[in-house]
Structure formats: structure tokens, C-alpha cells
Chains A and B, each alone.
Chain A
Amino acid sequence: MAIPLKYNIRNLFVRKVTTGLTVLGIGLVVAVFLSVMSLSEGLTRVFKVSGSPKNILVLRRNSQSEVDSGIYREQIPLIVTLPGIDRDIDGNPLFSTELVVILNMEKNEGGTSNVTLRGISEKGPHLRPQFKLAEGRMFKPGLSEVIVSRSISKRFKNCSLDDIIRFGSYQWKVVGIFDADGTAPDSEIWTDVEGAMSDFRRVSYSSVLVRTTDKLGQDQFVTALSNDPRLALQAKSERSYYEKQTSTADPIKFFGIFVGLIMAIGACFGAMNTMYAAVSARTKEIATLRVLGFSHMSILTSFIIESLLLALLGGVLGCFLGLLTVKLALSGVTGTTNFNTFSEVVFAFRLTPNILLTGIVFSLLIGLFGGILPATQAAFTKIILALRQVE
């Protein structure tokens, strides 16, 4: 049987100040790590859950995003008569022709940022399951009216209900506020597509969003579109289109892991220092345990467990601090630039149970690497020397 766990737990509490400071150090490292990871998670989620699995986005062949795509009006009838498209109860195909324009707008906090203005057809909202009109009403075609996402409404000037958004010589009235449950439309302003085409004197749409019947319908539609020589278009699943944009979160994730790693190395040394002090102060105890017959492995395991317990306390504190930080200091929405569309993407920090678990594992790794060397020193203490040293 191993050395009892209470031996380690009580020893941690005997050295209250040292233990407390090490736990605090590890806790702060874990909290910072969790904050950065929750930022990355929030941003990733925007793209991962956006769209519907049944939706297909049609773009010009070889274009990377809606911004550099173009679909002419005369191509629309050819697209919407392809096989695999779902229909409403009246038998009309479910699709939305859309135009994406980037507006440079003033932020409430000062400075400007690009915001996506999306012109959509009548069925546009129905194709987006997360869309919900929260205040006001839907825009009416031809009246230069817009609806604004709640996140954009909070972050940008003149975006509240009944405000007028001005851009160059154009102006639109905000008649509704919508909510898209943290998905891509939460970073957008919507208006009627024909009005927008006319306002911006565009001759082509940016994309066509199509609802297919099922997986079979999806395959039929994609194959038919790709094989039609008149179209020169490409079809992408809406989900995969957005998932590709998760690369926006990559630099943040890299930064988070890089900073976390550097701090973790520091925290490892903190834990190591504490454990070396513990081993040094307990040389006599360790020698006694060896005399009683406890093996090298028992001592090694015992001190590694003690280091893991120390780090676990830090991990739990870190999770608590992380939760507190995200709930209190980072509770609102924030934004960054989506480098695929060069427009603002709005997101909220998300501290999920998985991230918290990662934080705990992260702290245990700190404990493991910080504890190995001191525990090895303890395990291979020379009994005679250790007894002589203290007697």
C-alpha cells in the first residue's frame, strides 16, 4: 500500500504561506490561459455553428468569400431550377439572392471598423435557423430600411432602433433589432437585396443561399451546379464555408497557447521550488519512511501526488478566477477583424466545461513537471546521510 494521501494533504496545509503563494501563482496562470482560450472559443463558435447543415452557398468559381464573388441576375433562374432544392408549401424553391457590401462605421468607443451590410431576399431569414427578430419589425423592400443585429447595435453609433445609418450619400432607417444566437449574422446589418443592388449600382449578387432537401438533394445540387457549363459557379456547404473562416481565431489561439506555455514554464519552476523546499524540510521524514520499508517508488509517487494536489488547488482557483473574469469583466460582446471578409466579427467570451477541464489538465501538467525532480530527489535520498544530517 502507498503512503497515505492524508500525509500529503496535511503537509500542504502545514506550509500554509508557501502553499498559498504557489497555488495563487498557478491559479493566475490558469486564469489567464482560460481567458485567452475562452476568447478563441467564442470566436470559433461564431463560425462553427453558423448556418444550417442543409444550406448550400453558391459563389463564383474560384472566389474565396462572398466579398470577391459575383453572380449575374440571368444566372439565378438556372440555379434555382437545379435538382435537390427544397421547396416551401406553395412549391416555390427555398433560396435567397444576397449582396454583401462592407460599410466603414463609427464605433461607440471611438474609431471605425468595417461592418457587413447584407442584402437578402424574402426567404433569407427563414434559411437561417438562429435568426430571431428581437425588437421592432422586419424591413420593407424598397424603403431603405435595415434591421441590425443586437451586437452591432451595441457596438456602433446610429445603430439603435429608429436611428438613421448614413454612409456617403446613402441612408437607411433602423426598423428592427435581431439576434442570431452568437452566429455570423450577429456581426451584420440586413436590408432588402434589390434595394441594396440599386443603391450601390451593382449588376451582380454576391451569393445565392439555397436550402436543399437532404444529403441526397445536396449532392444532386452540387453535382448539377458544377457540371453546368453555363454557370461557372461553385457550391459550398454553408457550414464548411464558415468553418474555413475559423482561421480568424488561429492567431489568437496561437497567442493563447504561446503565452500560456511561457507562463506555465514559470509556474512549473514555482511548483518545483515549493516541492524542493518541502523535500528539503522533510529529509528526516523521508529517511524514516525508507527505514520503515517504503520503496523508492512509494516515496516518488507520494511526492508527485503532493505536487499534483498543490497544482490542482491552483487549477481550481484558476477556474474560479477565470469564471469570475469572464462573467464580470468580459461578459459583453467584443469584436475583431475577420480577415476573410475584412469586416468586423462580433463574439462573446465562452468559458465552456471543456475549457475548464483543459485548465485543470493544464494545472496538473504544471504540477507533474514541477514535481518530478524534487520527488526523484526525495525517492533516492540516501538513508544514512539523511539520518546523519539531521541527528
Chain B
Amino acid sequence: MDNPLIRVGNLVKNYHRGSEELTVLSGLNFIVEDGEFVALMGPSGSGKTTLLNLIAGIDRPTSGYIFVGTDEISSMTDSQLADWRSRHIGFIFQTYNLIPVLTAFENVELPLLLTPLGRVERRKHVEIALYIVGLSDRMSHYPRQLSGGQEQRVAIARAIVTDPTLLVADEPTGDLDAKSAEEILILLERLNSEFKKTIVIVTHDPRAAARARRIVHLEKGVLKEDIKAEDRGSVRLADSTLAFADVKS
């Protein structure tokens, strides 16, 4: 534990349902090391998705702090968070959330529109991201022309195209058949092992959790169990390391 990327301390998150106040996270402390692949598990209502959203900067805590790198995102304003997300977070949704009227290429290009990159550089980065997810031949396809597994791979390409600090995924295999889910998990595992991406996923799927190097169990808003899995070997992706070069420059 010598290079923490995410530091969460005394994290409390309350929601209001009518006049009733629900405590979803109660004083959570949690650290993720740089380069870890963490699976957040737990029953429905345990607070795992809330924790993921807080770490990704799309929700704000009631109290406590969250540091990602040196940035204390828990004290940022809405617009600071939006800017921060565009530079540091790659989000993978359960239902892919691709923009239906944009092609695979254009969907992946979207986050790059928030960077200073020019058209030619953007194209290069999009092509590499789609190459990594194995969809170089589907660039001009619209989401409706792709299978669920392919859509999720486009969504992963969109998440990695800016070379974010952190990849977060909410049930990334939840809407997929077993074969496609397996492909997505292999891809995530490779992104972690080969490209050293720090990944935090929320999942109910034991196969997904088995791919992670660390499994964190939450229950009723508190950390119940924290298990480190054995390191697994990985398959190198020849030359693709270049994919992430200078995206953030």
C-alpha cells in the first residue's frame, strides 16, 4: 500500500425519500491503489453503486472526503466536477449508453471534443481505442447495427480514449449474454494488466468479480469484507501500448 489513487474517508451519503432520510453510506473508509482492479459487491441497497458514483464524481457526499490522486473531488463544484470527469474518469454503463444517432467512431470521439486535440489527432486516438476493443471494422456503424457485446466494447473504447486516470464500470456485463460478458471481462482484465489502468467495477456477477484482483463487499453502507485475489498472468497486447500515449497532452 504505497501508492494510493483513491482515498475515501468517513464517507456518508444520505438520500431523502419524502420526509424520510435514508443513509446509504455511513462513515466508509476505503483506499484503492494505483493500478488495482477492484470489484465492489454486495446485496441491493448496500451502497456499492452510490460509492462508485461518488468516486466517479457524478454524485456528491453528504460528508467525508474523497481524493482521487491529489484532487479532493468532494469539495468541487458541479462545473469543476464536469471538467474533472472529462480528464480523469472513463465510465462504463450497464446499458452502454451510446448516443444512438452517432456512429461508433463519433461516440468514441465525444470525450475527445472536450480536449484541445485537433481533428487529425482525435481520429488517431479513436482508431486506436477501437482497435484495442477489436472494432476497427465497425467504426461507421450506428449502435443499432451492433450486438450488445459490440455496443459495450464501443462504450469501453469511449471510456479509455482519453486515457483517464480511473475506469469505473457499473454492472458492465449485466445486460450481456455469457459469451459477450466473458469477452468484456477479458478486455477489462487486459486494460488493467497491460495498460495499468485502475479499474473499479460494481457487479453481482461472480465471474466478473473473479477477474478482479480485489473484491470489496459492502453491506448496509459499510465495508464488510476486503479480499485480495492472487495476481493473474496476462497476455500482452503487442504495440497497443502506444494507444494511450499523450492523449491528455
Residues of A within 8 A of B (CB): 1-4, 6-7, 10-11, 14, 284-285, 287-296, 383-384, 387, 390-391
User: Scoring B residues 72 to 101 as 1 if CB is less than 8 Å from chain A, else 0, what string do you get?
Assistant: 000000110011111101010111010111
Q: How many residues of B contact A (CB 8 A)?
A: 28
Q: How many A-B residue pairs have CB under 8 A?
A: 72
Asked whether any CB of chain A lies closer than 8 Å to the CB of B102, the reply is yes
Contact partner, A14, options B93, B97, B100, Cβ 8 Å:
B100
User: Scoring B residues 43 to 61 as 1 if CB is less than 8 Å from chain A, else 0, what string do you get?
Assistant: 0000000000100101100
Q: In the complex, are the beta carbons of A292 and B79 less than 8 A apart?
A: no
Chain A residue with Cβ nearest B59: A384
Chain B residue with Cβ nearest A10: B101
Q: In the complex, are the beta carbons of A291 and B100 less than 8 A apart?
A: no
Q: How far is the CA of A3 from the CA of B79 in the complex (A)?
A: 16
Main SS at interface, chain A: helix
In the complex with contacts A1-B113, A4-B106, A384-B53, A288-B99 CB distance below 8 A: yes
Q: How far is the CA of A14 from the CA of B102 in the complex (A)?
A: 11
Q: How far is the CA of A293 from the CA of B58 in the complex (A)?
A: 10
Asked whether any CB of chain A lies closer than 8 Å to the CB of B227, the reply is no
Q: How far is the CA of A370 from the CA of B102 in the complex (A)?
A: 25
A-contacting residues, B102-135, CB 8 Å: 102, 106, 110-111, 113-114
Which B residues lie within 8 Å of A288 (CB)? 93, 97, 99
15 contacts between A and B (CB under 8 A): A1-B113, A2-B113, A7-B101, A14-B100, A284-B97, A288-B93, A291-B85, A293-B83, A293-B85, A293-B114, A294-B82, A294-B114, A383-B59, A390-B95, A391-B94
Which A residues lie within 8 Å of B59 (CB)? 383-384
Q: In the complex, are the beta carbons of A391 and B86 less than 8 A apart?
A: no
Q: In the complex, are the beta carbons of B95 and A391 less than 8 A apart?
A: yes
Q: How far is the CA of A352 from the CA of B79 in the complex (A)?
A: 47
Which B residues lie within 8 Å of A287 (CB)? 97
Which B residues lie within 8 Å of A284 (CB)? 95, 97
Which A residues lie within 8 Å of B101 (CB)? 6-7, 10-11, 14
Chain B residue with Cβ nearest A287: B97
User: Scoring B residues 145 to 162 as 1 if CB is less than 8 Å from chain A, else 0, what string do you get?
Assistant: 000000000000010000
Which B residues lie within 8 Å of A290 (CB)? 58, 82
A-contacting residues, B148-196, CB 8 Å: 158
Which A residues lie within 8 Å of B58 (CB)? 290-291, 383-384, 387
